[in-house]
Amino acid sequence: MKLASYKNGTRDGALHVVSRDLTRCVVVPDIARTLQGALDNWLEAAPRLQAIYAQLNTGHVSGELAFDPARCHSPLPRAYQWADGSAYLTHVELVRKARGAEVPESFYSDPLMYQGGSDAFLAPTAAIPLRDPAWGLDFEGEVAVVTGDVPLGAGIEQCGQAIRLLMLVNDVTLRNLIPNELAKGFGFFQSKPATSFSPVAVTPDELGDAWQDGKVHLPLLVDYNGTRFGQPNAGVEMQFSFPQLIAHVAKTRELSAGSIVGSGTVSNSDRKVGSCCLAEQRMIETIEQGAPVTPFMKLGDTVRIAMRDAAGASIFGAIEQKVTAHE
């Protein structure tokens, strides 16, 4: 099924069930007022949401509306956890190669992951506020899962069973703040402003055969200023599956329902498919030409992130954002 949270003046928005073709939706306050509420009580809520979803796909439901992504907040406008991996080692290899460093062998068996801020996400069509263009604003196209409760020490199979929903991500990054933060040794902080997610979150069964081994085997489509910038496949070179990434978190602490775990920037070694962030293009330029050519995002720039099924239909709706000055 497909779920969205409409802006309604509250902090968490109003949970809506959305038709598979993203044309219609309906609010479901008798089941759960918010997506977090549904996730908190998933085993009871999910079958009831699924029943509404089935009705919506086969006919009409009382109170249904035309679905409008512009009215959507992030499926979880705020969440209790946003942990982002870096599972596409092509991306990591380029980062390292551009600065003349090797990828440590351990990176192929021990996932990279950082804890992101989760208290205030941007809506999927919200402007990206930029206080200082010198900070080097970049987009990062990713896939993420939303989990149920996961106990401390859970194994990979149990972690896989805890995957409730999938979303697309724009992990907005301030590249020029990263070197100083990495030098301090405490990881990313100011370099990771508010993240955005796709208008719609979907259960794994919506992906059909494209959901294999805990990975999404479809191209992630990233357009920059109206031109295709990248379309790497999110499944083929994902070094760590989502169940493995969740198990990385669960090694030393439990996860609560509604935790979001991200894939990291999707990246393929085939350079013909392009990139899901500007930094990667700049690294390729550095490797090939000695210096980056592509600038970071400017005021007025736009990014669009989406994914289509085998029949060409949008699965999650699109993240569509424009960079604007913050007064």
Q: Which two tokens stand for residue 181?
A: 């933060």
Examine residue 152 and tell whether it contacts a copy of itself (CB under 8 A): yes
Give the three-class secondary structure for 266.
Answer: coil
> What x/- string results for residues 119 through 138 when contact with a copy of itself is judged by CB under 8 A?
xx--------x-x---x---
Examine residue 244 and tell whether it contacts a copy of itself (CB under 8 A): no
Instruction: Say which residues have a Cβ less than 8 Å from residue 201's Cβ, sequence separation at least 6.
Output: 2, 3, 4, 35, 75, 76, 146, 165, 166, 167, 316
> What x/- string results for residues 36 through 65 when contact with a copy of itself is judged by CB under 8 A?
----x-------------------------
Mark the segment that binds a copy of itself (CB under 8 A) among 47-55, 107-115, 213-221, 271-279: 107-115
Q: Which member of 11, 99, 228, 298 binds a copy of itself (CB under 8 A)?
A: 11
* Number of Cβ within a 10 Å radius of residue 218: 20
Give the three-class secondary structure for 290.
Answer: coil
Angle between helices 278-289 and 89-98 (to 10 degrees): 40
Examine residue 113 and tell whether it contacts a copy of itself (CB under 8 A): yes
Give me the least distance between CB of 147 and a copy of itself, in Å please: 9
Do residues 6 and 72 lie in contact, with contact meaning Cβ atoms separated by under 8 Å? yes
Is 227 exposed, middle or buried (CB count within 10 Å of its CB: 0-12, 13-18, 19+)? exposed
Chain mean position to CA 242: 12
Helical spans, DSSP H, in the chain: 35-40, 42-58, 89-98, 156-161, 178-184, 242-250, 278-289
**Alpha-carbon span 174 to 81, nearest angstrom:** 21
Examine residue 254 and tell whether it contacts a copy of itself (CB under 8 A): yes
Q: Which of residues 160-219 bind a copy of itself (CB under 8 A)?
A: 174, 177, 180, 182-194
Give me the least distance between CB of 88 and a copy of itself, in Å please: 15
Instruction: Say which residues have a Cβ less than 8 Å from residue 100's Cβ, sequence separation at least 6.
Output: none
Give me the least distance between CB of 106 and a copy of itself, in Å please: 8
Examine residue 285 and tell whether it contacts a copy of itself (CB under 8 A): no
Q: Which member of 117, 133, 204, 292 binds a copy of itself (CB under 8 A)?
A: 117
Mark the segment that binds a copy of itself (CB under 8 A) among 57-65, 118-126, 202-210, 310-318: 118-126
Mark the segment that binds a copy of itself (CB under 8 A) among 48-56, 255-263, 294-302, 309-317: 255-263
Q: Hey, CA dihedral for 70, 76, 78, 81, is it positive or negative?
A: negative
Binding site for a copy of itself (CB under 8 A): 11, 40, 78-81, 83, 86, 104, 106-107, 110, 112-120, 129, 131, 135, 152-153, 174, 177, 180, 182-194, 248-249, 251-259, 326
